[in-house]
Amino acid sequence: GAVVSQHPSRVICKSGTSVKIECRSLDFQATTMFWYRQFPKKSLMLMATSNEGSKATYEQGVEKDKFLINHASLTLSTLTVTSAHPEDSSFYICSARDPITQGAFFGQGTRLTVV
Amino acid sequence: ELKVEQNPLFLSMQEGKNYTIYCNYSTTSDRLYWYRQDPGKSLESLFVLLSNGAVKQEGRLMASLDTKARLSTLHITAAVHDLSATYFCAVDGGKIIFGKGTRLHILP
């Protein structure tokens, strides 16, 4: 299947700092990417839909100023957690839809710990 | 608003048995995905179902989609311990919404 690469896989940061997570589609061009957050033993909660060249669409309750999403190219979307707090600690996963197969493929996930 | 209901949420079964996981959704869509997640890992794509009546099989897993009933099933045949994991269905209605997942535990 198609490959989506997410980096870093694990990050620990101090409260108040910002963290950037990258999501790349390696063998296809993705006009749409999705960012999810997953709490332990829970399902994936959609945070925002990222469209190449335009502003991201955020889900209700997700702070757009805190979770900055940029989709500057057809193969790269980034999520920046600004002024991180311990409650932002979570597993963040990106997904990209392959326009050819219509499958949605996921990155490896980023485990963020804010101390 | 698209809602996805998956059941059961927990399933413990013996090796060799058959079982089915159900995924119902609330609005029209003809794209549905099934994923597997192992503890601490990301999601592994199992099936992409793109049309009414679609049926796909891989090993002991078979998935089907009935868009008229807004229902997909994931059937497990003669379960083995290696299939223990959490299984998610996700419906694509423009944005991709997940069910709550089915935590499957297969007893050796």
pLDDT digits (tens, 9 = 90+) for B76-98: 999 999 999 999 999 998 889 99
pLDDT digits (tens, 9 = 90+) for B31-55: 899 999 999 888 998 999 988 889 9
| Contact by Cβ (8 Å): B98, A37 | no
- Interchain contact B51–A (C-beta under 8 A): no
How is residue A102 written in tokens?
A: 């219509």
How is residue A7 written in tokens?
A: 């980096």
pLDDT value for A113: 96
Considering only CB atoms, which chain B residues are within 8 Å of A27? Answer: none
CA distance between the termini of chain A: 36
User: What is the rounded average pLDDT of the residues A6-28?
Assistant: 96
| Contact by Cβ (8 Å): B70, B26 | yes
The pLDDT of residue A98 is above 90:
no
The pLDDT of residue A107 is above 80:
yes
pLDDT tier, A1 (very low <50, low <70, confident <90, very high otherwise): low
With an 8 Å Cβ cutoff, are B98 and A103 in contact? no
pLDDT tier, A54 (very low <50, low <70, confident <90, very high otherwise): confident
Compute the distance between CA of residue B54 and CA of residue B15 in angstroms, rounded to an integer.
27
Give percent of chain A above pLDDT 70. Answer: 99
Query: Highest mean pLDDT range out of A15-29, A43-57, A98-112?
Result: A15-29
| pLDDT averaged over every residue in chain A | 93
Considering only CB atoms, which chain A residues are within 8 Å of B103? Answer: 41
Compute the distance between CA of residue A23 and CA of residue A18 in angstroms, rounded to an integer.
17
How is residue A35 written in tokens?
A: 């960012």
| Contact by Cβ (8 Å): B98, B22 | no
- 3-state SS assignment for residue A71: strand
pLDDT value for A52: 85
Select from A12, A20, A37, A107 the least CA-distant residue to A72: A20
User: What is the rounded average pLDDT of the residues A103-108?
Assistant: 89
With an 8 Å Cβ cutoff, are B48 and A102 in contact? yes
With an 8 Å Cβ cutoff, are A108 and B42 in contact? yes
Q: Which of A41, A102, A106 sits opposite B50 (nearest CB)?
A: A102
Return the residue matching tokens 């296809």: A28
pLDDT value for A104: 86
